[in-house]
């Protein structure tokens, strides 16, 4: 009974986790392009050389520090939200989120090898990868069902409704 009640919560958490993973996967190449365009390649090389000289524990600090300046930006977004500046709040929060994931991906790319030297970090990293796989496994049937509904290939009421909408759109388009 409890498991059935918690199923939507687990699906929601899995979706949030997968959105984070999707952002990570898609922002990392964008950050790489920005690094190629903006003279950040030298900065990345410089940072990599400095990280190689650090202990794994100090590398953890290098990994964590870039996130700290983004916290006030998220607070600004929250302040905007509480004062009903909806558009600005959403833009600020989304910008802070994307910037945070992008910067984290950039710094993690530089510090990954050193961080994985710490056994506890390696276990957490492996756990996150397993959670990501489990979240994908949990959400994949839902994504597949949504794609089927959107495609309208089935015989259920939603498929018939989508076909009806498509026919209506086509007739409106032809009437123009």
66-111, pLDDT tens digit by residue?
Answer: 878 888 888 898 899 899 898 999 889 888 887 887 788 788 888 8
The Cα 150–Cα 146 span in angstroms is 6
Domain count within the chain = 1
Residue 123 falls inside a structural domain: yes
Question: Given this model, what pLDDT does residue 164 score?
Answer: 77
Residue 86 falls inside a structural domain: no
Chain Cα centroid distance, residue 92: 16
pLDDT averaged over every residue in the chain: 79
- Whether the CB-CB separation of 139 and 11 falls below 8 Å is answered with yes
Work out the percent of the chain whose per-residue pLDDT is above 90: 7
Q: What is the pLDDT of residues 5-51, one digit of tens each?
A: 767 777 777 777 777 777 767 766 776 676 667 666 777 788 888 88
| Domain extent for 136 | 119-175
**Prediction pTM value:** 0.61
């Amino acid at each position: 009974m409890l498991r059935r009640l918690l199923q939507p919560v687990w699906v929601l958490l899995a979706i949030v986790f997968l959105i984070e993973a999707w952002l990570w996967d898609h922002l990392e190449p964008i950050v790489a392009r920005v690094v190629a365009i903006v003279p950040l390649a030298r900065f990345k090389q410089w940072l990599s050389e400095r990280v190689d000289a650090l202990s794994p524990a100090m590398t953890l600090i290098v990994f964590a520090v870039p996130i700290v300046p983004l916290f006030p930006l998220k607070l600004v977004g929250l302040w905007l939200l509480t004062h009903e500046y909806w558009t600005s709040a959403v833009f600020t929060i989304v910008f802070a989120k994307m910037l945070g994931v992008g910067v984290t991906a950039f710094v993690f790319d530089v510090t990954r090898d050193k961080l994985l030297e710490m056994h506890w970090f390696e276990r957490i990293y492996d756990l996150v990868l397993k959670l990501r796989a489990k979240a994908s496994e949990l959400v994949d049937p839902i994504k597949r069902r949504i794609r089927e509904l959107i495609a309208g290939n089935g015989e259920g009421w939603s498929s018939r409704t989508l076909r009806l909408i498509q026919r209506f759109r086509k007739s409106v388009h032809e009437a123009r």
